[in-house]
Amino acid sequence: MAEKNTDRITVKWQGTAGIEQAHALSDELLQAFKDSSDVRLDISEVEDIDITGIQVIIAARKEAEKQQKNFYITGKIPPAIQDFTAASSISLKDYVADYGNEGDKDA
């Protein structure tokens, strides 16, 4: 689900972000890049994520850089994602928006 606020689009993921959802999640982010130069990903309601979900986030960041667009994670990072990234030695800190309470840099 994507919400547009002026030039910024926020894509909200919910539930599971894994291999079975990867194609749809990636398509949603690519569409957001077509529609805006400032894309935010809200993962605050993601309950489960696997390495494929993380790869979609990393690929989205690379695509944003290639297109010279902004891409950040916004909202509270759920414990499941914090645990997964910590166990995998993956850091999403550079991906988190730092706008007041919008981002939580614990991932």
Which CATH number goes with the domain that contains 64? Answer: 3.30.750.24
pTM: 0.82
Residue 107 resides in a domain: no
pLDDT along the chain (107 residues), means of 10: 70 95 97 95 94 95 95 90 89 73 44
Residue 56 burial (CB < 10 Å; 0-12/13-18/19+)? buried
Residue 20 resides in a domain: yes
The boundaries of the domain holding residue 41 are: 2-95
Q: What digits encode the pLDDT tens for the residues 42-62?
A: 999 999 999 999 999 999 999
Residue 106 resides in a domain: no
Residue 103 resides in a domain: no
- Domains: count for the chain: 1
Residue 31 resides in a domain: yes
Task: State both tokens at 72.
Answer: 């950040």
Residue 39 resides in a domain: yes
